[in-house]
């Protein structure tokens, strides 16, 4: 039961922007900064819950943006939360209250994750207890954007391998696919390698996609259109390599349908993309080991810690896209930052809640706008 013993007193939203250490280029463009909405919830006892609404300014990966999430949270979801607010309210009851708002999974997840973090603080337990974390550490993977040259890409991968990263994912698009894959295999042999196309192909590209079968990739993520699960089924039927769905999956039903009908063999679960951590746990439980792994949205430390605890569940045997904070930010908004140890694992923080301090001054100084709701 996820009852909140004390009611909420105040909720703040911070629309922040933070520079990346390296620009991140995918088939839909280059990003140099992370835009995200940080959610801070305070209860009447002074406990604090923290969440992240990890969308971007541009509706390219998902239809949601910072502005749509800001609107939906401020004008629909938070008023609903105010209505429900009372000691003993259940988090699932709040989510049912959000259900009449269709879609807007990222907006909902930002609030849900802050409520779950608040619940862990109220109970004085690690959030891992709520997320069913059964491991003390998780293996680390990295998602590397499209680079200026194949040589440069191969060098960058070398740095991550040296630091113990266990799985390499590269972004591909037509013209940047077979050549980098070949070069990586030549340089590093049999490493755990996968590719992510972010919907850059269609069935006319079947010959190139089928060529990828000979490189022993762990999976090909989202090769076809974001809104075309059927086309992925047609591709999976003609390919050996496992197809993994990312941006096509918005909720547990999409995930289960895709696996059951053979449209994909694996689902990249981003809790924020499927409406939050309780939905994400539901998908992991339903699909089980080998069919799920945890993706990322280049989150700041707050979303990153939520993802670390989530993928410490037993179903997660495939390393995620959750890298160390230093791969994204020179200063993270949590202390200590998420660190990858010399063996390539992230150890789960101990202590209650998210197990780290939140650097509120950096959140304040990175904010483009702030709004405060008194309950």
Binding footprint of Mg ion on the chain (CB under 5 A): 196, 221, 246
Q: Which two tokens stand for residue 291?
A: 């069919």
The rounded distance, in Å, linking the Cα atoms of 375 and 363 is 22
Q: Which does 61 bind (CB under 5 to 8 A by kind): ligand OSB, Mg ion, none?
A: ligand OSB
- Minimum Å distance from CB 303 to ligand OSB? 9
Cβ proximity to Mg ion, 231 vs 360, nearer residue: 231
Cβ proximity to Mg ion, 13 vs 244, nearer residue: 244
The rounded distance, in Å, linking the Cα atoms of 252 and 179 is 36
- Minimum Å distance from CB 34 to ligand OSB? 9
Q: Which of 108, 119, 171, 291 is catalytic?
A: 171
User: Is residue 182 annotated as part of the catalytic site, yes or no?
Assistant: no
User: Is residue 234 annotated as part of the catalytic site, yes or no?
Assistant: no
The rounded distance, in Å, linking the Cα atoms of 325 and 328 is 6
Report the Cα–Cα distance between both ends of the chain, in Å, rounded.
Answer: 23
The rounded distance, in Å, linking the Cα atoms of 186 and 167 is 16
The rounded distance, in Å, linking the Cα atoms of 350 and 343 is 19
Q: Which does 117 bind (CB under 5 to 8 A by kind): Mg ion, ligand OSB, none?
A: none
- Minimum Å distance from CB 321 to ligand OSB? 4
- Minimum Å distance from CB 296 to ligand OSB? 2
Handedness of CA 296, 205, 177, 139 (dihedral sign): positive
Cβ proximity to Mg ion, 205 vs 331, nearer residue: 205
Cβ proximity to Mg ion, 15 vs 196, nearer residue: 196
Q: Which does 248 bind (CB under 5 to 8 A by kind): ligand OSB, Mg ion, none?
A: none
Contact 21, 326 (CB under 8 A): yes
Pairing between β-strand 334-335 and β-strand 367-374 as defined by DSSP bridges: unpaired
Query: Which residue's C-beta sits nearest to ligand OSB?
Result: 296
Q: Which does 323 bind (CB under 5 to 8 A by kind): Mg ion, ligand OSB, none?
A: ligand OSB
Contact 73, 41 (CB under 8 A): no
Q: How many other C-beta atoms are found inside a 10 Å radius of the C-beta of residue 190? A: 7
Q: Which of 137, 270, 291, 350 is catalytic?
A: 270
Cβ proximity to Mg ion, 112 vs 221, nearer residue: 221
- Minimum Å distance from CB 142 to ligand OSB? 7
Q: Which residues contact 361 (CB under 8 A, 6 or more apart)?
A: none
Q: Which does 345 bind (CB under 5 to 8 A by kind): Mg ion, ligand OSB, none?
A: none
Interface with ligand OSB (CB under 6 A): 61, 143, 196, 198, 246, 295-298, 321, 323
Contact 318, 289 (CB under 8 A): no
Phi, psi (degrees; rounded to nearest 5) at 13: -115, 130
Residues forming the active site? 171, 270
């Amino acid at each position: 039961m996820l009852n909140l013993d004390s009611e909420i007193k105040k909720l703040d939203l911070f629309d922040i922007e933070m520079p990346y250490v390296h620009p991140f280029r995918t088939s839909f463009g280059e990003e140099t900064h992370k835009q995200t909405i940080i959610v801070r919830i305070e209860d009447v006892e002074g406990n604090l819950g923290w969440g992240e609404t990890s969308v971007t300014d541009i509706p390219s990966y998902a239809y949601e943006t910072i502005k749509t999430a800001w609107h939906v949270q401020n004008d629909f979801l938070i008023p609903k939360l105010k209505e429900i607010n009372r000691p003993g309210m259940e988090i699932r009851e709040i989510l049912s209250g959000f259900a009449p708002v269709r879609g807007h999974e990222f907006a909902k997840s930002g609030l849900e994750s802050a409520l779950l973090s608040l619940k862990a603080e109220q109970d004085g337990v690690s959030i891992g207890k709520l997320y069913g974390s059964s491991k003390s550490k998780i293996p680390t993977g990295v998602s590397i954007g499209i680079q200026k040259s194949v040589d440069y890409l191969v060098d960058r991968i070398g740095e991550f391998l040296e630091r113990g990263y266990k799985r390499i994912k590269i972004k591909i698009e037509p013209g940047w696919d077979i050549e980098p894959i070949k070069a990586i295999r030549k340089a590093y042999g049999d490493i755990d390698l996968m590719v992510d196309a972010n919907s850059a192909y269609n069935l006319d590209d079947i010959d190139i996609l089928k060529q990828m079968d000979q490189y022993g990739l762990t999976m090909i993520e989202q090769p076809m259109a974001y809104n075309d699960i059927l086309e992925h089924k047609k591709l999976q039927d003609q390919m050996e390599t496992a197809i993994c769905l990312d941006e096509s999956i918005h909720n547990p039903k999409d995930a289960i349908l895709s696996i059951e009908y053979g449209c994909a063999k694996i689902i990249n679960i981003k809790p924020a993309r499927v409406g939050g951590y309780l939905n994400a746990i539901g998908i992991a439980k339903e699909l089980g080991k080998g069919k799920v792994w945890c993706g990322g949205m280049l989150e700041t430390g707050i979303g990153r810690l939520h993802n670390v605890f989530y993928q410490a569940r037993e179903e997660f045997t495939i390393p995620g896209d959750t890298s160390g904070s230093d791969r994204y930010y020179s200063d993270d908004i949590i202390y200590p930052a998420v660190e990858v140890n010399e063996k390539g694992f992230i150890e789960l923080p101990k202590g209650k809640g998210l197990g780290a301090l939140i650097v509120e001054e950096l959140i304040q100084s990175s904010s483009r706008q702030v709004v405060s709701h008194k309950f």
